[in-house]
């Protein structure tokens, strides 16, 4: 038996063991072809089947019709920070951005390179300790779109609901909470996520675009920078990140076997409840620095009374096989990234460690 540690890395992050085992099993000889899927042509019938199944699974799990294009692109979520303004802001138009954390701010800054941005809400002055209430988000009616980041990976905050934007297309970076709970995905004209947290390995980014939004995308862009190129070719205009797409298919099948988004949502809710309860039970020692109603289900941030204690917590946890707990370098502290592949049992172990650490401190 291979020893597997509890992996709290924020991304690349834990993958389901069942998925890794299938990858291992199928790697040398993919379904009797005598070669692996990553050695197959992206035009082969084997890979085309993988590509089509991954698209179908994504539509099924997110509850989307075939009016949504499902794309698998390279370049990470960060490249979408550039492609979205290029594709969707018309001459002289303004786009609206909600600024709730480091990645939300990066998206906004990239947009400012090519267009005027309206800041629809910002919690920057409050150290990003919360996301807005729906009625705090304000933007002009003629905005090209409203961009939100559904889960702020570094700060540990998450939208629990999304605004009704009427005529203004709603766009979301869902990199760190995609496929972790039910959402009304039909509200979004576009959503995207780097795969490396809840969907698979680094190297592939899921981009989902509704056809009415794609229809108004800017024309005349360089070929590879145009979402339409990728949509028209089912992401096969050029060589796609084949390994990532293949693993994403396995991860989506795994989610389906967990009872779909409803199934993983139940587990994720139990996980975050257990962890936040352990933090709240020791208020003189552990502290979650964000507003309660903005707490993330995926990235749970925590402070201890001193940095020295935080470092000891991380080191002692590592000795017990609890890895990847260091908070982002820009904010410090502890961060538990508890994506889908981290189990409820893993959280029980962690809470037990936290109780012992507190007693011995």
What contacts 67, CB < 8 A, 6 or more positions away? 210, 211, 212
Instruction: Give Dmax over CA atoms of the chain in angstroms.
Output: 64
Of 28-36, 127-135, 168-176, 349-357, the window that binds ligand PMP (rule: CB under 6 A) is 168-176
CA count, 13 A, side-chain hemisphere, 162: 23
CB of 207 to ligand PMP, least distance (A): 12
Q: Which of 92, 86, 69 is nearest to 232 (CA)?
A: 69
**Options 6, 15, 73, 77; binder of ligand PMP; rule CB under 6 A:** 77
CB of 328 to ligand PMP, least distance (A): 9
- Please report where in the chains the tokens 């807005």 appear, as a residue: 132
What contacts 44, CB < 8 A, 6 or more positions away? none
What contacts 49, CB < 8 A, 6 or more positions away? none
- Per the CB < 8 A criterion, the answer to whether 138 and 119 are in contact is no
**Options 30, 62, 97, 103; binder of ligand PMP; rule CB under 6 A:** 103
- Per the CB < 8 A criterion, the answer to whether 199 and 248 are in contact is yes
**Options 99, 110, 155, 173; binder of ligand PMP; rule CB under 6 A:** 173
> 77 or 304: whose CB is closer to ligand PMP?
77
Contact between 9 and ligand PMP by CB under 6 A: the answer reads: no
> 13 or 304: whose CB is closer to ligand PMP?
13
Contact between 288 and ligand PMP by CB under 6 A: the answer reads: no
CB of 175 to ligand PMP, least distance (A): 4
- How far, in whole angstroms, is CA 58 from its chain's centroid? 14
Contact between 229 and ligand PMP by CB under 6 A: the answer reads: no
> 176 or 288: whose CB is closer to ligand PMP?
176
Total chain residues near ligand PMP (CB under 6 A)? 11
Contact between 327 and ligand PMP by CB under 6 A: the answer reads: no
**Options 176, 296, 301, 337; binder of ligand PMP; rule CB under 6 A:** 176
**Options 36, 78, 94, 311; binder of ligand PMP; rule CB under 6 A:** 78
CB of 62 to ligand PMP, least distance (A): 18
Q: How far apart are CA 208 and CA 100, in angstroms?
A: 22
3-class SS at 331?
Answer: coil
Q: How many CB atoms lie within 10 A of CB 109?
A: 13
Site of interaction with ligand PMP (CB under 6 A): 11, 76-78, 103, 149, 153, 173, 175-176, 194
């Amino acid at each position: 038996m291979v020893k597997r540690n509890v992996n709290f890395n924020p991304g690349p992050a834990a993958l389901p063991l069942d998925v890794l085992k299938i990858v291992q099993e199928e790697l040398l000889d993919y379904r009797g072809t005598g070669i692996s899927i990553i050695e197959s042509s992206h035009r082969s019938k084997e890979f085309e089947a993988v590509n089509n199944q991954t698209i179908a699974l994504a539509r099924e799990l997110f509850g989307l019709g075939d009016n949504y294009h499902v794309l698998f692109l390279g370049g990470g979520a960060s490249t979408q920070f550039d492609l979205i303004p290029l594709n969707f802001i018309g001459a002289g138009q303004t786009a609206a951005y909600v600024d709730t954390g480091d990645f939300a701010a990066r998206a906004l800054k990239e947009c400012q390179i090519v267009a005027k941005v309206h800041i629809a809400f910002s919690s920057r002055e409050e150290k990003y300790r919360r996301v807005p209430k729906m009625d705090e988000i304000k933007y002009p009616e003629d905005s090209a779109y409203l961009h939100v980041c559904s889960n702020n990976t570094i700060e540990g905050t998450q939208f629990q609901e999304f605004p009704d934007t009427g005529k203004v297309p709603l766009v979301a970076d869902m990199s760190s909470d995609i496929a972790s709970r039910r959402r009304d995905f039909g509200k979004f004209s576009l959503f995207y996520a780097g795969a490396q947290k809840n969907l698979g390995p680094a190297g592939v980014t899921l981009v989902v675009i509704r056809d009415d939004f794609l229809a108004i995308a800017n024309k005349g862009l360089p070929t590879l920078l145009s979402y339409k190129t990728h949509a028209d070719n089912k992401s096969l205009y050029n060589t796609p990140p084949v390994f990532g797409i293949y693993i994403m298919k396995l991860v989506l099948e795994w989610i389906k076997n967990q009872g779909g988004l409803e199934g993983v949502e139940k587990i994720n809710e139990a996980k975050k409840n257990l962890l936040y309860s352990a933090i709240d039970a020791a208020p003189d020692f552990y502290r979650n620095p964000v507003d309660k109603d903005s707490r993330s289900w995926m990235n749970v941030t925590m402070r201890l009374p001193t940095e020295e204690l935080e470092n000891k917590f991380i080191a002692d946890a590592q000795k017990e096989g609890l890895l990847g707990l260091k908070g982002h370098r820009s904010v410090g502290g502890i961060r538990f990234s508890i994506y889908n592949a981290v189990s409820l049992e893993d959280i029980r172990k962690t809470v037990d460690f936290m109780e012992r650490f507190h007693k011995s401190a």
